[in-house]
Amino acid sequence: MWDSNPLSAYDIALLVRGFFMENQCNSVRSTATSSPSPCGCCQQVIQPAKIRSTTSIITSANRFDHALARFGWNRGGHRVEPGLYQLGKPDTESPVFASANYTLSFDALRSALNGRDSWILVLDTKGINVWCAAGKGTFGSDELVRRIEASGLASIVRHRKIIVPQLGAPGISWPEVLQRSGFTVEYGPVRAADLPEYLKTRTATPAMRKVQFSLRDRLVLIPVELVHLVLPMVVAAAILFFLAGPVAAFASVAAVIAGTVLFPALLPFIPTRDFSTKGFILGTIVAIPFGVVFSGTLSLPLWADVSAGLIPLLVIPATTAYIALNFTGATTFTSRTGVKKEIFRYVPVMALMAGSGLVLGVILGISRLAGVI
């Protein structure tokens, strides 16, 4: 997998911004005369740039950058300059590979090509990995053709073939690229690590075409999700500690840990297909001990005892399911249409459950302050 990360609010913002910018440009073009367009946003002509050099060596600085990316630090800053790169001493017959300008994607590719003279054409994907960028269109036919033309690739190599990672296929239409640039698109293996073997025959085995989502692949997703939720988790735990005690505070931490750590680790083993229902199941298992503890207060009236036991059974599964739903953008188990259906189907249920639990908590709190319980 030439690399993948979950979609984020930053990624979505880039997509929305690009959509409106493109609409604005189209509007200007439709009314423009033969004079140059005054709209600065439409000046998208890519000026020819010099050929940059790179190596297959992954330095300590590169590894530090990878670690920061995995932990979600400076989300949009892990990128390389788009353009044409030479790896080693390529000639006119050397293979050409396409990559995203996300550092993890670029570094995975160049390190896999150790000892092989090659050209690497880096597309401007706004610092997004190949898989996600292909879904958005930034790793797409238009950008590939623009980079081919801007780099003068046709005058640099004699052949007319460019190797694209398989996970970039949703964004790259080979007939369109061929028609507009004269270059044939060859879809390489899923993972850059398979390139050395693939290049021996230029044929991908079934194993090379299969997208794996191993335990290691799932575990590397944990840091970025956990980092995003640490602050809300700490705040919620602190508030609950003072309002309801240490067990309630621990319950909030357990809900987040279940969604960010246990869920990706146990993903293939939790029954049902939907991520939301998987999250509900895992959250319910985590919530049961807290429900037993909260409902075991003999000094409370029956209605208050039952309500106290219901609160974790409502709030924890909803929280865990919502966090689990965020993993759909980073897995091979879902499709875009499936995710949309899942959002519309289960998010209202999550909101209803969490809201009901909070209302019960407020009622119990007011009743205690009023001396009812």
| pLDDT tens-digit readout, 289-339 | 999 998 876 577 888 889 999 999 999 999 999 999 888 766 666 666 777
Is the residue at 322 inside a domain?
yes
The answer to whether residues 206 and 221 belong to one domain is no
The answer to whether residues 310 and 175 belong to one domain is no
The answer to whether residues 173 and 188 belong to one domain is yes
Pull the structure tokens for residue 311: 């609160």
Pull the structure tokens for residue 124: 């401007």
Domain boundary among 196, 211, 226: 211
The answer to whether residues 297 and 358 belong to one domain is yes
Residue-level length of the chain: 373
User: Residue-wise over 138-148: b if at least 16 C-beta within 10 A, else e?
Assistant: bbbbbbbbbbb
Predicted pLDDT of residue 123: 95
The answer to whether residues 221 and 198 belong to one domain is no
Predicted pLDDT of residue 332: 64
How far apart CA 188 and CA 322 sit, in angstroms, is 35
Show the low-confidence residues of the chain (pLDDT under 70): 1-49, 297-298, 329-336
Is the residue at 260 inside a domain?
yes
Predicted pLDDT of residue 24: 37
The answer to whether residues 283 and 239 belong to one domain is yes
Nearby residues of 210 by Cβ (< 8 Å), 6 or more positions away: 190
CATH number, domain with residue 121: 3.40.50.11600
Beta strands 52-54 and 83-87: pairing type? parallel
Mapped onto helix, strand or coil, the DSSP state of residue 44 is coil
The answer to whether residues 103 and 195 belong to one domain is yes
Is the residue at 36 inside a domain?
yes
The answer to whether residues 101 and 151 belong to one domain is yes
Kindly tell me the burial class for residue 231, based on how many C-beta atoms sit within 10 Å of its own C-beta (0-12, 13-18, 19 or more). Answer: exposed
Beta strands 118-123 and 96-100: pairing type? parallel
The answer to whether residues 29 and 173 belong to one domain is yes
Residue 196 belongs to domain spanning: 9-211
Predicted pLDDT of residue 197: 92
The answer to whether residues 161 and 75 belong to one domain is yes
The answer to whether residues 62 and 185 belong to one domain is yes
pLDDT tens across 194-207, in order?
A: 999 999 988 888 88
Predicted pLDDT of residue 256: 95
The answer to whether residues 66 and 176 belong to one domain is yes
Domain boundary among 180, 211, 242: 211
Indicate the number of domains in the chain: 2
Predicted pLDDT of residue 335: 66
Predicted pLDDT of residue 18: 41
Predicted pLDDT of residue 31: 34
Domain boundary among 179, 194, 211: 211
Is the residue at 4 inside a domain?
no
Is the residue at 1 inside a domain?
no
Is the residue at 3 inside a domain?
no
How far does Cα 184 stand from its chain's mean position?
Answer: 29
Predicted pLDDT of residue 7: 41
